[in-house]
Amino acid sequence: MALELKIAMVGPRGTGKTSLLTGVWRELGKLNQTLPLYVDITETQVLQEKMLEMQRHAIEFVPQPSTSSRGRQSFFFTLSPADKKPIIRLEFVDYPGGYLVQEGTEPTEHQETRALLRDSDVILLAIDTPPMVTMLEQRPDRLIGRWCDYVNRNLEVNQILMDSYQNLSRRPRLLLLVPVKTEMHLRIGISSKYGNFVVSDIVKNAYGPLLTRLRSPKLASNVAVAITPVNTLGGFEFSHIDEVSSGASLEPRPHYRRRGGTAAYQPKYAEQPMIHILRFAISRHLEQIGNPTLLYRLLAPFRRGSITYEQLERQSLQTLSGLTVQDRNFQILQGGHLLEPRPNLD
């Protein structure tokens, strides 16, 4: 019987959840070539439309929050070894941003989303990077971008996710913090009067309360946490944020510019969240069937010839995208054992 896992795609309105899933879908072709697995994906029309939209953008654009009336949507990824029955079925659930923080939604939709978060095996949080790292300000408890709370609603999201992990059963969970629109900040870093930083530094500031809670003895052994940025805009790069009047207050308006003028839509690092999810899912699957040899064979492409599982975490970061072990933007913060079972191959 196939292992079924639910992956909740969450983030406030306009942070880029669907763009992230589109990038993951686009990169799955590479994983198909690398893994001895057949990947079947359903409900791809929405993702195809999103990719075409990204390809049609002009030289410069200002992203707008989705006005789609679609509610919660599910995308199914079925993984099968060649010529065999499916072993893993992943359900990616894309929640409208307003459902998470109750922006103009019915209370029942908000409560339903929070209940589903508690039931999910994996939570994938999309984080809008430019507002998080631009115009850094020193708050009493953290260093963070001026517009981070406004766009990412991270004060609320911290609390919502902390609530989701309360009274947690011993069933393993995975939390992926996924900064998106990171093209410029992964390339040149973050410079400010407070010093120089990488994206993962500010992620830890923005979601510090949540990360502190997850490090508690009760949760640390059952919840794996990773930061895995994705360049979801492809050929675009962040330019600047305008602060525009909206009634009596100001609102941020980020601008992005196409690099090189005619650069193609080429998201980067979009396979990294899926690599973590696959490692987590295969580990769970093998707990059920007790066949470590299968895990060793399935994850062999991520080892680049290494036979030691101590190197698996680092080697997986180097696959496909050419990442280096020293890149501090990509980190497994805790729970590596949930992604890296140690088989007995004697």
Each residue's pLDDT tens digit, 239-290:
899 999 887 888 999 888 887 665 567 788 888 888 888 888 878 877 776 6
CA 220 to CA 156: how far, in whole Å?
Answer: 22
- The pLDDT, as a whole number, for residue 321 is 47
Give the rounded distance of the alpha carbon of 47 from its chain centre: 16
pLDDT at residue 197 greater than cutoff 80:
yes
What average pLDDT score do residues 154-173 get? 88
User: Would the CA dihedral through 150, 153, 155, 156 be positive or negative?
Assistant: positive
Q: Is the dihedral of CA 265, 267, 268, 271 positive or negative?
A: negative
Distance CA 266, CA 225 (A): 27
Chain centroid to Cα 76, Å, comes to: 17
- CATH architecture of the domain 3-60+70-237+262-338 equals 3-Layer(aba) Sandwich (3.40)
Nearest to 179 by CA among 16, 5, 3: 16
Contacts by 152-157, CB closer than 8 A, 24 or more apart: 152/11, 152/12, 152/15, 152/127, 152/128, 152/206, 153/12, 153/100, 153/101, 154/127, 154/206, 154/207, 156/101, 157/10, 157/11, 157/12, 157/100, 157/101, 157/125, 157/207, 157/210
Query: pLDDT-based confidence at 151, cuts 50/70/90?
Result: very high
How many whole angstroms separate alpha carbon 27 and alpha carbon 80? 18
Poorest-confidence range of 43-47, 63-67, 74-78, 196-200? 63-67
Q: Express each pLDDT in 296-322 by its tens digit.
A: 555 554 443 333 333 444 444 444 445
Rg of the chain's alpha carbons, rounded to an integer?
A: 20
Q: Give the lowest-confidence range in 109-113, 129-133, 275-279.
A: 109-113
Q: Is the CB of residue 175 less than 8 Å from the CB of residue 203?
A: no
Which residue shows structure tokens 């994705």?
A: 230
Task: Read off the pLDDT of residues 87-98 as tens digits, 9 standing for 90 and up.
Answer: 778 888 887 766
Domain residue ranges of the chain, discontinuous segments joined by +? 3-60+70-237+262-338
Q: In this structure, what DSSP letter does residue 4 have?
A: E
Three-state SS at 193: coil
| Residues 201, 176: Cα–Cα separation, whole Å | 15
CA distance 32 to 80: 11
